[in-house]
Amino acid sequence: MVLPTFATTLLARERQPPFGDFDPAHLLHSHQSLTLHGPLPTTGTATSTSRLTALYDRGHNALAVIDSTCVDPRTGGPLAELRTGLTIRREGGFGGEPGRDDPWDRPDSEPDRVIDYCTAPNQALLYRLSGDLNPLHSDPNVAARLGLRSPLLHGLCTFGFAGRALLHALCGGDPARFGTISARFTAPVFPGQTLSVRIWERGEDALFQVHTNRGIVMDAGQFTQPG
């Protein structure tokens, strides 16, 4: 069977809607949601359609929101719906609406489950094979320009680890029980770090965060099973 978060790799990145000229090194993946319409097939093709639905002015930065759908071209049936938030550093201040993030409060209790995954030192280079060729994840010189000690792990790679933890913890490993997952990326992850997925169960649904030894790297996590 296919891991549910594999759906994020079905988007044709080179065909995403344009939203201006900017230095790609300043592009950061900051938000992601995914709704799965049943288990993904193990073979076949997918057709994706994406559109820019919002461009928010966050002061120093801009936030672009892209909504995407993936369908099976043989049947026309939906495979997944995705919403991607992309922060463009130094491109704010154009006088647009700031937009709002959905409210989310960390539970006061300790998490019901904590699942740890150790990433590999070459994890970003492996994940790059999914088609995300942003040099921020592979070129030390680009990372240094942004004041980083080394290239970062892709946000969607961290998202995939979180989805895997939720799949096994709450769905018994069954993709048919995987509905919607969403989260905000709040801090960089470097290949080789351990990801700690902290889950607060709410019946069949859950809230979650992802931590490393340096703090929270994914926040405002929400997961729901199909209705």
What are residue 209's DSSP bridge partners?
198
Q: What is the DSSP string of 175-219?
A: GGG--EEEEEE-S---TTPEEEEEEEEETTEEEEEEEETTEEEEE
Predicted confidence (pLDDT) per residue in 90-127, tens digit: 999 999 999 988 899 999 999 999 999 999 999 999 99
CB 83 within 8 A of CB 174: no
Domains contained in the chain, number = 1
Predicted confidence (pLDDT) per residue in 165-186, tens digit: 999 999 999 999 999 999 999 9
Q: What's the predicted TM-score (pTM) here?
A: 0.92
CB 85 within 8 A of CB 63: yes
User: What is the distance between the alpha carbons of residues 115 and 224, in angstroms, rounded to a whole number?
Assistant: 18
Residue 132 belongs to domain with CATH number: 3.10.129.10
Q: Which residues of the chain have pLDDT under 70?
A: 13-15
Q: Containing domain of residue 14, as a range? A: 4-224
Supply the pLDDT for residue 132.
Answer: 85
Q: Is 121 helix (H, G, I), strand (E, B) or coil?
A: coil
Q: Which amino acid is at 174?
A: D
